[in-house]
Amino acid sequence: MRFVFKTDYAQDIRLAKHGGHVFWYSLLMVFLLAAPWLIAEYWLAQLTFILIYAIAGLGLMLLAGFTGQFSIGHAAFLGVGAYTQAVFTNMGFPFPFALAMAGMLSAAVGVVVGLPALRVKGIYLGIATIAFAFIVEEVFARWESVTGGNSGIHIKAPNLFGWELSSGEEFYFLCLVITVTVTLGILNLLRSSTGRAFVAIRDSEISAQSMGIHLARYKTLSFAISAALAGIAGALYAHKLQFISPDQFNIIQSIDLLLMVVIGGLGSVHGAFLGAIFLIAMPQLIAMTKDYLPAVIGQAPGLQSLVYGAVLIGFVLGEPLGLYGRWFKIRTYLQTFPFYRKGMFKRQKTFQKSDRLK
C-alpha cells in the first residue's frame, strides 16, 4: 500500500507523482533506448509502428478523450501529413523542415474541419469529419500531379542535414525522440490552463462557457493540435512504409484510430500508448494463433475484423475506460491493498442525459 503525503500544491501537478513513477518510467526509457540491441529487426519495426500510432493516438486522444469532440475522419490528417512529407522530402528539403510543414499543414486543415465543430456537435460533427475524410481521400486519388494518384508515391529516406537515416535503427531513434517530445508536450499541455479548459469543454460546454472559456478558440485549438500530431505521425508513417497511396488513409484507417483510443482508454495519455500496442500487436497475435485454429476459422479473411469487433464490444460493455481503466483498477487494488471495495468503480448510469430539448 502506498500513501502519497501531500504537503505542497505543486505536488498535484508534478509529472512524476512519486518515486515509483520515476523508477518505472526510467526503466521503460532504458528499455526503449536499448531496444535495437535487444530485439530482432522485425520486432523493432513493429515497435516503431507502435510509436508512430501512439503519436496519432495522442492527437486523437486530446481531441476525443480530453476535449470531447469526436472525429471519425482522423486518417485524413494522417494522410495530409504523409503526403506533405513525401512531397517536401522528394523535393530535397531536410527532414525537420518537411516535418514542420507536415504538422503545420495538417493543423491548418484541422482548423478548417474544426469550423463546423463550432456550430454542430456530437454525431453531426462525426458525420462532418467522415464527409471531410472522404473528400480528402478523393483529392489524394485525383490530384495526380502532386500525389501520384492511385498508383501512390515513393518517399526517400529522411535526411537530417546531410545525415541519411536509412537504417531501421536510426529511424527508430528518430521516432522515439519525437514520441517522447510529443508525450511530454501533451502532458504539459494537459496540466496547463489550456488543458484544463479542454477538459472543462468535454465535461460540459455550457458550464465551461459560463466560466469564461472561449469555446470557439479552444475547440479550434484542440482540432489544430490534434491534426498537427496526426500529421506528424503521418509523416513518420510515410517514411516508415516508404510508399503511400490514398487507400491507406480510408475510412477503415479512421475507424482503426478511433478503435485505438477507445480500447486504450478514453481520457488518459496512457490509453493512446496501450491502444497503439493493441492495434499493432493484435494482427501479430492473430497471425500466431492462426496455425492452431481449424483451417475454416484460421484461414478465413474475416477473422481479424471479427476479433476487433468482438474486443471493441467487450470493452464498451465491460470496461468503458479501456485497457488503461483495467490497469487503473488493478493498480488501485494493489495500492490500497486490504481496503479495496467492490463498488469503488461502479459505473454511474445517467439515464437519458439528453442532447435534445425536452
Partner 1 sequence: MQFLQLVISGIAQGCIYGLIALGFVLIYKATETVSFVQGELMMLGAFGGLACMTMLNFPFWLSVICAISAMAVFGVLLERLIIRPILGQPAFSIVMLTIGIGYVARGLITMIPGIGTETHTLPVPYKDEIWKVGTLVLNVEQMVVIAATSVLCGLLFAMFKYSKMGIAMQASSQNQLAAYYMGIPVKRINGLVWGLASAVAAIAGLLLAPITFVHANMGFIGLKAFPAAVVGGFGSLPGAIVGGLIIGIVESLAGFYAPDGIKDIAAYVVVLIMLMVKPNGLFGEKLRKKV
- In the complex, what is the shortest distance from the CB of residue 303 to partner 1, in angstroms, rounded to a whole number? 7
- In the complex, what is the shortest distance from the CB of residue 37 to partner 1, in angstroms, rounded to a whole number? 38
- In the complex, what is the shortest distance from the CB of residue 262 to partner 1, in angstroms, rounded to a whole number? 5
- In the complex, what is the shortest distance from the CB of residue 167 to partner 1, in angstroms, rounded to a whole number? 37
Whichever of 12 and 355 has its CB closer to partner 1, that residue is 355
Please report, as ranges, the residues that interact with partner 1 according to CB under 8 A. 64, 70, 116, 119-120, 122-124, 126-128, 130-132, 134-135, 138, 141-142, 206, 251, 255, 258-259, 262, 296-297, 300-313, 316-317, 320, 347, 349-358
- In the complex, what is the shortest distance from the CB of residue 137 to partner 1, in angstroms, rounded to a whole number? 9
Closest to 58 in 3D by CA, of 236, 220, 248, 271:
271
- In the complex, what is the shortest distance from the CB of residue 153 to partner 1, in angstroms, rounded to a whole number? 18
- In the complex, what is the shortest distance from the CB of residue 68 to partner 1, in angstroms, rounded to a whole number? 9
